[in-house]
Amino acid sequence: MALGTGSRPGTTITPHDLRFDAGRICLDLLATTHPEERLGSVDVLRAWIVGSGLVPPGTPLAHADPSWVREFRELRDLIGQLVAAWLLPAPPGGPVPPYDHVLLRVNDLARPAPPAPRAVRRQDGDLVRELAAPPACGALLAAVARDAVELFTDPAARACLRQCAGDNCPIVYLDTSRGRRRRWCSSEVCGNRERVARHRRRAAVARA
């Protein structure tokens, strides 16, 4: 599922442009293509890895390099294809979407062990989470791929997949709201945009 396009010329994407409100790590990764490419640099990818909760804040990620960006983009594309196949199923009697090769690749990426956490006692006696060692790219990819496997093999979670109702917003999220009535990827972003547009339409009618 292609959620967006490349960055516009002259546009600088920063960690502040990242969002983590889709309800699953794999869907947060998918959202990094909208409204333009977010994972355009190693620095932003590092920020996404921390912001997504894959690693605790302060985890050393200096060893990340541009190959990590390519690997995460590949996994993102695979997740997008699975999401598209679920949200846009084949018509009754029609052919099954040919994404078995996508499942094989996601399963392969999910095979390695994810980063190993450990509990560390601080000087004040509180326990905090750290990683046993700086995480490898494959271990981080495995954590995201496993999240995708868990999502798509859980009928209840899979049934909560929704695409934002906002104009030109293809972001997919997990609707866990009461009554499953959530319409927007974000009430503050697309929801607010729709409310402003509705107000302007009413104002235009009143003026007429």
In angstroms, the Cα distances linking 82 to 26, 96, 103, 193, 194 are 11, 12, 8, 28, 28
DSSP assignment string, 39-57: --SHHHHHHHHHHTTSS-T
In a domain, 183, yes or no: no
Q: Which residues form the domain of 38?
A: 15-162
Number of domains the chain is built from: 1
The pairing of strands 161-163 and 172-174 is: antiparallel
Residue 172 domain flag: no
**Predicted TM-score (pTM) of this structure:** 0.84
Per the domain annotation, does 34 fall within a domain? yes
Q: In whole angstroms, how large is the CA radius of gyration of the chain?
A: 19
DSSP structure string for 110-178 = HSSPPPPEEEEE-TTS-EEEEESSPPPHHHHHHHHHHHHHHHHT-HHHHTTEEE--STT---EEE--SG
Task: Output DSSP code: residue 7.
Answer: P
8 is a domain residue: no
Q: What integer pLDDT is reported at residue 97 of this predicted model?
A: 66
- Residue 169: other Cβ atoms inside 10 A: 21
Query: What residues does 121 pair with on adjacent strands?
Result: 127
Is 2 contained in some domain? no
Tokens of 86: 């679920």
Question: 85-106 pLDDT, tens per residue?
Answer: 888 766 666 656 667 899 999 9
**In-domain check, residue 174:** no
> What is the Cα–Cα distance from 79 to 74, expressed in whole angstroms?
9
For residue 190, is it within any domain?
no
Selection from 180, 187, 142, 178 nearest residue 158 by Cα: 180
Decide if 191 is inside a domain: no
- Residue 5 carries which DSSP code? B
The predicted-structure confidence for 29-42, as pLDDT tens digits, reads as follows: 999 998 889 999 99
pLDDT for 5: 41
The segments of the chain whose pLDDT lies below 50 read 2, 4-10, 199
Here the CATH number for the domain that contains residue 41 is: 1.10.3300
- The answer to whether the beta carbons of residues 59 and 50 sit under 8 Å apart is yes
In this prediction, residue 89 carries a pLDDT of: 67
